[in-house]
Amino acid sequence: MEKVVAKKKYGQNFLKDSSVLDKIIQSMPHNNNQVVEIGPGLGDLTNKLVKYKDTTAYEVDTDLIANLQSTFATQLEQGRLKLIHTDVLSAWDKNQTLHDGKYDLIANLPYYIATNIILRALEDNNCENIMVMVQKEVAVKFTAQVNQKEYSSLGIIAQLLSHDRGIHFDVPPEAFEPAPKVMSSIFYIKKDMSKSIDKGLKDFLKASFIQPRKKLSKNLSSICNKNTLIDIFKELNINENARPHEVNASLYSQLYTKVKNGRN
């Protein structure tokens, strides 16, 4: 393989610690789903994934594609690996899903678009499990519980759409080449395939957390009449002084419906 220089613009931090790669494989969900990997990079994780599951991998970097094609010539020929050379976000824009059929997303994500990717995977009706490496701060946000200071719109959306979510383990910078500046974590979301949320709720949550340390009622005053809001808070038993992170996901969902419908 030709020497590859990691490109910052594509968030290339290659995972080189084989014990971490093995731990990822051991944490994979047990089911018959195919795997989708975003950003196979030099193929170290891909190499382990294809041993267990048929895999579709999306890679944007033209320079890496030729290497991957020669490294995985056999698996590509046998149809165990499908390599798609494109920006994964445009693939989602085009097809709404990354795979025709149930799949699990397992990847060491490019950190510069990790949050966006996870939100898209949560919306993708064919994606059943998400198990990805991201910077620790992002993993904590998606897995936070009510009353934790990190509980925000990301944690609420993930909670409303899942059966279960959590952090598997942390990974230090030295496990990568080049080493990122931050700590990383592998986390998972087991989606509840019967659930969906509408775009309006996302905007509502954005407004709810616009100033995270202020009162929720203050943040919502820009989109809802103050007296109506006081009544709705009373009906739902939400303390009028509650801060945004102190209200649970189910209450947010009910609050949104009442505000949208003008109370009822």
**Could you list the residues that contact ligand SAM (CB under 6 A)?**
10-15, 38-42, 44-45, 58-61, 64, 87-89, 108, 110, 113
- Looking at the Cβ atoms of 13 and 34, the one nearer to ligand SAM is 13
Structure tokens at 254: 């009910």
Closest CA to 91 of 105, 108, 78, 76: 105
Let me know: does 110 contact 85? Beta carbons within 8 Å. Answer: no
Instruction: Provide, rounded to whole angstroms, the least separation between the CB of residue 116 and ligand SAM.
Output: 9
Q: How far is the CB of 32 from ligand SAM (least distance, A)?
A: 23
Query: For residue 60, which phi and psi values (nearest 5 degrees)?
Result: -90, -25
Q: Which is nearer to ligand SAM, 21 or 140 (CB)?
A: 21
Provide, rounded to whole angstroms, the least separation between the CB of residue 182 and ligand SAM.
12
Decide whether 45 or 83 has the Cβ nearer to ligand SAM.
Answer: 45
For the bound state, the minimum distance from the C-beta of residue 223 to ligand SAM, rounded and expressed in Å, comes to 33
Nearest distance from residue 1's CB to ligand SAM, in Å? 13
> Closest CB to ligand SAM among 41 and 244?
41
When CB distances to ligand SAM are compared, the closest residue is 39
Beta strands in 109-161 (DSSP E): 127-135
- Between residues 61 and 128, which has the closer beta carbon with respect to ligand SAM? 61
* Residue 88 vs 220, nearer CB to ligand SAM: 88
Q: Using an 8 Å Cβ cutoff, are 46 and 40 in contact?
A: yes
What's the CA gap between 104 and 28, in Å, rounded?
9
Residue 120: both structure tokens together? 């898209």
- Please state, in angstroms and as integers, the Cα–Cα distance from residue 182 to each residue in 36, 117, 171, 173, 200, following that order: 25, 19, 10, 6, 33
Closest to ligand SAM by CB, 60 vs 156, is 60
CB 91 within 8 A of CB 58: yes
Angle of CA points 70, 127, 50, to nearest 5°? 30
Helices and strands, counts by H and E, the chain: 12, 9
Shortest Cβ distance from residue 11 to ligand SAM (Å)?
Answer: 5
Give me the least distance between CB of 112 and ligand SAM, in Å please: 7
> What does the block give as tokens for 51?
């041993």
